[in-house]
């Protein structure tokens, strides 16, 4: 009998222990290799340990379960089977979104052992089959989640950005922006004339940008596509974009690489 390995990401220690104990009862052969207490640790541990199954709490500090799933999809090494995802949530709406994201399943808090048995059955069936398509399925669903929701009212279009340059505030026409790049606390606004910082999170900027011109290419980067000259692959096979008048190139994550297949 095959032995499979799992990682639990849950910020409440009691709930993490309860899930681990329930899994031990319904799937004794499963090895719990680690328990991560936040989304950042979940990504780091998953990349280091490469579990077969990843139980992700939807709401965690650092990164949500969905954000952790996207980062893992971007950073997962080639040639290694992507873990089967199970989202754990106390909220129905999050459970539905997670399930549509190509998770094998989701379980709701407090975890019902009868429901967990069904999840384990699905996991074991998938794990016993030849693997390799999990990452493609997750990427497809992440792309769908990244698209604007149908029926949502369009946000007011941004025309100017107020950004800090040292001790001064600069007004930057949005059309002059080459790309936006998220840092730990700020978003870096890069133009042909230089760089400036804003506090508005990237996810809050996106609705106000022209989607025909500004494309998200990474969880932390949005590029003005009119400023892209070439899309090329580096020595590691990763896609990167060259921009007009800039020496640096911008990495494109797996989630968004399909946008450049025809370039």
10 compared with 133, residue with greater pLDDT? 10
Among 84, 114, 146, where does a domain finish? Answer: 146
Are 46 and 164 within one domain? no
Are 251 and 201 within one domain? yes
Q: Residue 30 and residue 210: Cα distance in Å, rounded?
A: 48
Do the beta carbons of residue 189 and residue 198 sit within 8 Å? Answer: yes
Task: Please write the tens of the pLDDT for every residue from 140-188.
Answer: 766 665 555 444 445 688 999 999 888 888 899 999 999 999 988 899 9
Residue 188 in domain = yes
Are 136 and 165 within one domain? no
Task: Please write the tens of the pLDDT for every residue from 7-20.
Answer: 999 999 999 999 99
Domain that holds residue 47: 5-146
Confidence tier at 72 by pLDDT (50, 70, 90): very high
Are 69 and 115 within one domain? yes
pLDDT, position 183: 87
Are 121 and 181 within one domain? no
Residue 155 in domain = no
pLDDT, position 150: 42
Task: Please write the tens of the pLDDT for every residue from 235-252.
Answer: 777 899 999 989 999 999
- Provide the percentage of residues in the chain whose pLDDT is more than 90: 49
pLDDT, position 15: 92
Among 111, 146, 181, where does a domain finish? Answer: 146
Residue 153 in domain = no
92 compared with 7, residue with greater pLDDT? 7
Among 119, 146, 173, where does a domain finish? Answer: 146
Residue 154 in domain = no
CATH number (domain holding residue 253)? 2.40.50.1020
Are 107 and 197 within one domain? no
pLDDT, position 149: 45
Q: Residue 96 and residue 162: Cα distance in Å, rounded?
A: 37
Are 69 and 126 within one domain? yes
CATH number (domain holding residue 15)? 3.40.50.2300
Number of structural domains in the chain: 2
Q: Residue 27 and residue 20: Cα distance in Å, rounded?
A: 10
User: Average of pLDDT values for 45-65?
Assistant: 92
Confidence tier at 1 by pLDDT (50, 70, 90): low
Are 41 and 123 within one domain? yes
Q: Look up the pTM and report it.
A: 0.73
Parallel/antiparallel/unpaired status of strands 214-218 and 194-198? unpaired
Minimal CA–CA distance to 154: which of 93, 199, 224, 211? 211
């Amino acid at each position: 009998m095959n032995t499979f390995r799992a990682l639990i990401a849950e910020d409440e220690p009691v709930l993490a222990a309860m899930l681990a104990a329930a899994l031990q009862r319904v799937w004794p052969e499963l090895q719990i290799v680690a328990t991560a207490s936040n989304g950042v640790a979940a990504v780091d541990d998953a990349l280091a340990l490469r579990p077969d199954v990843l139980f992700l709490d939807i709401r965690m500090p650092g990164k949500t379960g969905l954000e952790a799933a996207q980062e893992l999809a971007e950073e997962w090494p080639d040639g290694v089977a992507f873990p089967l995802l199970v989202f754990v949530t106390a909220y129905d709406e999050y459970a539905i979104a997670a399930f549509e994201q190509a998770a094998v399943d989701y379980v709701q808090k407090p975890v019902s052992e009868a429901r967990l048995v069904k999840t384990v059955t699905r996991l074991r069936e998938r794990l016993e089959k030849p693997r390799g398509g999990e990452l493609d399925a997750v990427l497809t669903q992440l792309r769908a989640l990244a698209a604007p929701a149908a029926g949502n009212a369009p946000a007011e279009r941004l025309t100017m950005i107020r950004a800090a340059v040292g001790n001064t505030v600069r007004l930057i026409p949005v059309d002059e922006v080459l790309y936006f790049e998220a840092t730990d606390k700020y978003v870096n606004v890069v133009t042909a004339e230089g760089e400036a910082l804003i506090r508005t999170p990237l996810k809050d900027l996106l609705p106000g940008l022209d989607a025909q011109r500004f494309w998200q290419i990474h969880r932390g980067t949005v590029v003005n596509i009119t400023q892209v000259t070439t899309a090329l692959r580096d020595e590691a096979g990763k896609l990167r974009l060259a921009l007009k008048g800039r020496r640096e190139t911008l990495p494109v994550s797996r989630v968004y690489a399909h946008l450049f297949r025809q370039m």
